[in-house]
Amino acid sequence: MSQAGADVVLGARRAGRLAEVADMVEANHREAVTIETDVTDPADCEAMITAGMKQFGRIDVLINNAGIGTAVPALRERPEEFRAVVDVNLMGAYWMSQAAARVMRPGSSIVNIASVLGLVKSYAPQAAYAASKAGLIGLTRDLSQQWAGRRGIRVNAVAPGYFATELTASVPADQLGAFITQTATLGRMGSSTNSTPQSCSWPVTRHPT
């Protein structure tokens, strides 16, 4: 977002990674504010938005991109494992969206990073991840109809396929490679020219006026 001219508020649980991304933002001659944030805690979400408002006076864009996943057979997945994924991927997006929408002006935008696995089957047992991303797509649809007319806030989701991230790095390469070859149109994993660490979540951005 800083490459597009936005000042950025960055929130994540790992302070070290936040600092890395802040350096990248500042290298683009934009301002970065960092705040340790656990998106499963509504109070943390409110604190992050408050920090953005204090520094910039407005929030124009929220990108909900915090995510975790598991690959556990459904009959062996423990309740706490399933809940942890849903808590971050779905509930976290909801708490952040609530906090941001309370202060956003008409014309603002919320973008939820869903997944193709919210729409199609996976090669691996990923019930929690697939359910959370399908839920995020449903949440996006509902918030869009609630806030578009009443508040002038656009809410959209994107559903990327497999990209090289910390999440996919934990999957055995041969298994993931075989699945991508069979299902991806280009037969390969997606890549990005932006080296921003994928673990640094929830950039809330402000476009300068």
Q: Which of 94, 123, 129, 162 is catalytic?
A: 129
Q: Which two tokens stand for residue 20?
A: 């890395």
Distances (CA, A) of 189 to 159, 177, 209: 14, 8, 37
Residues paired with 36 in a beta bridge = 12
Residue 163 DSSP one-character state = B
Whether residue 59 contacts residue 100, with contact meaning beta carbons closer than 8 Å, is answered with: yes
Residues paired with 10 in a beta bridge = 34
**Phi/psi at 77 (5° precision):** -75, 130
Q: Quick one: which H or E segment has residue 143?
A: helix 127-151
Edge-to-edge strands of the sheet including 109-113?
Answer: 32-36, 7-12, 204-206, 61-64, 109-113, 154-158
Rounded to the nearest 10 degrees, the angle between the axes of helix 92-101 and helix 42-56 is 40
CA angle 83, 69, 171 (to 5 degrees): 150
User: Is there a catalytic annotation at residue 94?
Assistant: no
Catalytic residues: 129
